[in-house]
Chains A and B, each alone.
Chain A
Amino acid sequence: MRFGLNRIDRVGVVVALIAAYGLVAPFALFRANRIVQGEGRSLLSALPPSLGVILLAFSVIAIVMALLRLPLFVKLLTSLVMLAMLAFAIGSAAGFLTPEGNNYARVSPGSGFWLLGAAFALLATDCLARLRPPPWGRIAILTATVAAITFVLTSGLWDGLSIIKEYFSRADTFWLEAGRHVTLALGSLAVAAVVGIPLGILCHRVEPVRSAILNLLNIVQTIPSIALFGILIGPLSWVATNVPGAADLGIRGVGMAPAFVALFLYSLLPMVANTVGGLAGVPAEANDAARGVGMTDRQRLAQVELPLAFPVILTGIRIVLVQNIGLATIAALIGGGGFGVFVFQGLGQTAMDLVLLGAVPTVTMAFAAAVILDAIVELVAPANAGRKEATA
């Protein structure tokens, strides 16, 4: 039997190339302390010999399976098994490489681990995307993934890893900053929605203000975040000293207030633009009919325009939420808190593990928010978009 090229999976080629390189790249990094340059350890030298060989063998089998056109479920299962093995292996690498009783040595995942992880995560997401799970299914998968990660983190499996050691030395501030990060991202989103949706409605109804408002927001969007913080220091300091009670609310030239205001300003354009776009997309016939049957302007807005524009507005909320979770990182620059605190501290100390302690939760949160809101957008859309099947 000839082994034809058509039996090769194209995504599988990418997965295989990344994973193959991951096998030869350093699997783990060993450092004598947390700030010196690390030295790479290959897969076989980073793990107990038997485990190293098993992981190598499984990886080769998984790479071959990724290349072939196999049922999606088989591939998905393969990638999940590989991800679980990698999670276990990096944990045992930490224990294996750290000398007994040495509290200064640090073991962190090397490029080989990240590449293998990325390759099999790509395989898993590709399989999931091709299986087209319904919105609830995607949220269930996300929940299961979060549960699995929580299990690994609480099991103590990774306690030897440098990033977890960084966490343990800052466990109290970690959750405080996490809370601030969420407050900044969600709070500015909520205010942006409360202000932006009515502003979008105004732009839709009153043509002359539309281009003025949208252009102004476009300009705001182009101001670099650092510059925006600088611009805000003056007015907010003035407010703090001159408006009674403002200082008690925590409004100052630096800190959370300017970060919150900046995130709010960045959020306004997507909110307003999507509201305007959603309302503009309402079929002219539906609007004409709404007027023709005797709806007042307010009834037409509430009963016809907003329901029909809602999926587009929700897409705007999704953009803003993901954008804000990422942007909230820079709030740390002006003392606003959030995960950025760890990122910038880590950069200052050249401690990459500390940078990761801030960056990994941020990326995870943004990813989870995107999955959840995409699912909600799809759940809301069917009645409008025509996905429901005819009943007869």
Chain B
Amino acid sequence: MIEIDAISKAYGDVTVVDNVSMTIEAGSITVIVGTSGSGKTTLLRMINRLVEPTSGSIRIDGEDNGAIAPHELRRRIGYAIQGHGLFPHRTVADNIATVPKLLGWPQDRIDARVEELLNLFQLDPASFGPRFPHELSGGQSQRVGVARALAAEPNLLLMDEPFGALDPVIRAKAQDDLLAIQKHFGTTIILVTHDMEEAFGLADRIAVMDGGRLLQYATPSEMLASPATDFVASLIGTAERPFRLLALNPVERAVEPGAAEGKPISADASQRDALAELLWSGRPALPVTGKDGAVAGRVTVDGLLKQARPA
């Protein structure tokens, strides 16, 4: 659990982060959203003390982060940045091994960890381990960057616009991978982005910042139902609201009894995907299959439309 308590950062007369307090649950994904200059990156960098706060405190699992030497604190916290920040003079394997080496792990444990992570990120260790960063594509570099951040098995991972430099197709894949890896390790993730779509796609809770202040800190559905300010509402985009809400919930919650024709949809697909399929194929209803593959009922256009506004 991370407790951010009345934290502020000022450079001279300019306050970049203004009295922000929030509590982040262990094992959750929190996305901090805001325009550039909103203070979101500064807030993130105060957690691992790349930026020292002017006032306030941050406790990680009850321990004040100001009481730990900065370099030791950072070795416990994963850190991934936009454009990956890989060391250009080190191989992929050496890049990933950076923090374990700093922590003095024995070499065989480091080797095993590097291999495990490369496999996890679908990079063949024999082929990719000895490569240099300039021999990787953008998506591969980004995966290596996240692998390096996770190398020392941190409980907490900070990510600063980690997908900013990727094209849309690779970005969607990278986001799915991140969700899978978060499930796998149970890591607490705090991610900074300016992309609201990304925030709704990944977050358990979203924090919206503007002008250094935390405007709203809520679950995606709460935020859709009642945006705290006009700025939050405009950031969500009024025309996007119903679709964002549908995207948050699985088809399972809109299943009705009855039968339907044609290709079925899985119960854990999003309601937005189901509506898109209905609209595109021109059918009034889709059969829904449960986890066992048996048909569990159907979804209808009318049923989904009822789900597309806050209850």
- Interface of A with B (CB < 8 Å)? 283, 285-286, 288-296, 299, 304, 307-308, 383-384, 386, 388, 390-392
Q: Which residues of chain B in 83-99 are interfacial with respect to chain A, using CB atoms and an 8 Å cutoff? A: 83-89, 98-99
Distance A383 CA – B83 CA, assembled complex (angstroms) = 19
Q: A292 contacts which of B74, B131, B134 (Cβ < 8 Å)?
A: B74
Distance A307 CA – B85 CA, assembled complex (angstroms) = 16
Q: What is the CB-to-nearest-CB distance from B171 to chain A, in angstroms, rounded to a whole number?
A: 19
In the complex, B127 has a CB within 8 A of chain A: yes
A388-B132, A391-B131, A391-B135 known; A290+B87 contact, CB < 8 A: yes
A293 touches B81 (CB 8 A): no
Q: A286 contacts which of B88, B130, B131, B134 (Cβ < 8 Å)?
A: B88
Q: 7 smallest A-B Cβ distances: which pairs?
A: A289-B85, A294-B75, A294-B74, A292-B79, A285-B85, A386-B134, A390-B135
In the complex, B294 has a CB within 8 A of chain A: no
Q: A291 contacts which of B50, B86, B130 (Cβ < 8 Å)?
A: B50
Q: Which residues of chain B in 75-128 are interfacial with respect to chain A, using CB atoms and an 8 Å cutoff? A: 75-76, 79, 81, 83-89, 98-99, 102, 127
B89 touches A383 (CB 8 A): yes
Q: Which residues of A contact B89 (CB under 8 A)?
A: 304, 307-308, 383-384
Q: Which residues of A contact B50 (CB under 8 A)?
A: 288, 291-292
Distance A283 CA – B48 CA, assembled complex (angstroms) = 21
Q: What is the CB-to-nearest-CB distance from B262 to chain A, in angstroms, rounded to a whole number?
A: 43
B134 touches A293 (CB 8 A): no
Distance A296 CA – B132 CA, assembled complex (angstroms) = 24
Distance A384 CA – B133 CA, assembled complex (angstroms) = 9
Q: Write the chain A residue with the least CB distance to B98.
A: A293
Give the most central of A293, A295, A307: most B CB within 10 Å: A293
A294 touches B87 (CB 8 A): no
Distance A384 CA – B90 CA, assembled complex (angstroms) = 9
A388-B132, A391-B131 known; A288+B85 contact, CB < 8 A: yes
Q: Write the chain B residue with the least CB distance to A283.
A: B88
B85 touches A292 (CB 8 A): yes
Q: Which residues of A contact B130 (CB under 8 A)?
A: 391
Interface size counted on chain B using CB atoms at 8 A: 29
Give the most central of B75, B79, B130: most A CB within 10 Å: B79
B148 touches A293 (CB 8 A): yes
Q: Which residues of chain B in 126-159 are interfacial with respect to chain A, using CB atoms and an 8 Å cutoff? A: 127, 130-132, 134-135, 148-149
In the complex, B63 has a CB within 8 A of chain A: no
Q: Which residues of A contact B148 (CB under 8 A)?
A: 293
Q: Which residues of A contact B183 (CB under 8 A)?
A: none
Distance A299 CA – B81 CA, assembled complex (angstroms) = 20
In the complex, B64 has a CB within 8 A of chain A: no
Chain B 50-89 near chain A by CB (<8 Å), digits 1 or 0:
1000000000000000000011111110010101111111
Q: Which residues of chain B in 181-225 are interfacial with respect to chain A, using CB atoms and an 8 Å cutoff? A: none
Distance A291 CA – B149 CA, assembled complex (angstroms) = 12
A307-B89, A391-B127 known; A294+B135 contact, CB < 8 A: no
Distance A294 CA – B99 CA, assembled complex (angstroms) = 7
Q: What is the CB-to-nearest-CB distance from A391 to chain B, in angstroms, rounded to a whole number?
A: 6
Distance A218 CA – B131 CA, assembled complex (angstroms) = 42
Q: What is the CB-to-nearest-CB distance from A77 to chain B, in angstroms, rounded to a whole number?
A: 38
Q: B135 contacts which of A285, A286, A304, A388 (Cβ < 8 Å)?
A: A388
16 new A-B contacts at CB < 8 Å, known A291-B50, A293-B149: A283-B88, A286-B86, A288-B50, A289-B79, A289-B85, A289-B86, A291-B74, A292-B81, A294-B71, A294-B76, A304-B87, A384-B88, A390-B135, A391-B130, A391-B131, A391-B135
Q: Write the chain B residue with the least CB distance to A284.
A: B85
Distance A294 CA – B73 CA, assembled complex (angstroms) = 7
Q: Which residues of B contact A290 (CB under 8 A)?
A: 87
Give the most central of B74, B76, B87: most A CB within 10 Å: B87
Q: Write the chain A residue with the least CB distance to B124.
A: A392
Chain B 279-291 near chain A by CB (<8 Å), digits 1 or 0:
0000000000000
Distance A299 CA – B131 CA, assembled complex (angstroms) = 23
Q: Which residues of B contact A308 (CB under 8 A)?
A: 88-89
B102 touches A286 (CB 8 A): no
A291-B50, A294-B71, A388-B135 known; A299+B102 contact, CB < 8 A: yes
A293 touches B102 (CB 8 A): yes
Distance A391 CA – B73 CA, assembled complex (angstroms) = 37
A-B contact pairs, 8 of them (CB 8 A): A285-B81, A289-B85, A289-B87, A292-B50, A292-B79, A293-B102, A307-B89, A383-B89
Q: Which residues of A contact B99 (CB under 8 A)?
A: 293-294
Q: Which residues of B contact A289 (CB under 8 A)?
A: 79, 81, 85-87
